[in-house]
Copies of this chain bind each other. A is one copy, B any other.
Amino acid sequence: MPYDPSAFPPFAVTVDLVVLTVRRHALCALAVRRGEPPFQGRWALPGGFVRDDEDLAQAAARELAEETGLRVHDPAVPAQDHGAHLEQLATYGDPKRDPRMRVVSVAHLALAPDLPAPRAGGDASNARWAPVDELLQQGGHGRDGEPVAPLAFDHAQILSDGVERARSKIEYSSLATAFCPPEFTVGELRRVYEAVWGVALDPRNFHRKVTGTPGFLVPTGGTTTRQGGRPAQLFRAGGATLLNPPMLRPEV
């Protein structure tokens, strides 16, 4: 039976990216300014159309590289350069989510270490890291006073879902290390958890927990004083991806 193109409605398929990082003790997301209607001039999540010959993950990795220069960390390549974590988040397909046409967006979540200022097609003023609080808050604005919220389309919902995914996933996986540089201290890792969860953690219990979980952290032998105070041991992320028992997020 030949294929009948009239048997189904055509869709546009895009990937949108929730790229998270921790800057200045705050969980931040990458936002780009829209250059064309709809929502011209408003901030949005980076993204774009999936190409004809591309897998969804490939498209997301391509967009991520275009926006940030980040390569995706491939677990199959252990000795690889430090790269970002990228995973599929969810798919959004409300018929009215884009006023122009029927668009289904496959959102992806990327976790990246603190990066230099972003570039978007070479134009820095059209891309920025903004604290997720500002992006999700009614009338949110950056430190420069520019309004950054509300985001275009349904991107506030997508960002919110991505943040919630990240918050819950660092509980039971070693993903928090994706926010850290290749070598980091226990204190730096703790400040990642504190920024993502928005809580304060006891440094002593945190230290006991992460150093006592087999495979989570591997000491590199070096030390650093870049945080001030007593020199701290440097670690790399160990091979373990699942934490058992998990890291417990404190109650409200």
Contacts and interface: CB of A to CB of B under 8 A. Distances in A.
A37 B2 CA distance: 9
Interface string A82-111: 000000101111110000111010100000
Interface in A1-22: 1, 3, 7-13
A245 to B, nearest CB: 9
Interface stretch (A46-54, A63-71, A185-193, A216-224): A46-54
Interface string A37-63: 100000000000111111110000000
Interface in A107-137: none
A51 B49 CA distance: 21
A174 to B, nearest CB: 16
Contact of A106 (B10, B12, B93): B93
B12 A93 contact: no
A102 B37 contact: no
Given A36-B1, A104-B106, A9 B93 contact: no
A9 B53 CA distance: 10
Contacts of A88: 90-91
Contacts of A102: 52
22 contacts: A1-B36, A1-B37, A8-B12, A8-B13, A9-B50, A10-B10, A10-B11, A11-B11, A11-B50, A11-B104, A13-B13, A50-B93, A50-B104, A52-B95, A55-B95, A56-B91, A56-B94, A56-B104, A88-B91, A91-B91, A104-B104, A104-B106
- 4 residue pairs, one from A and one from B, having the closest CB atoms: A10-B10, A56-B93, A8-B49, A9-B52
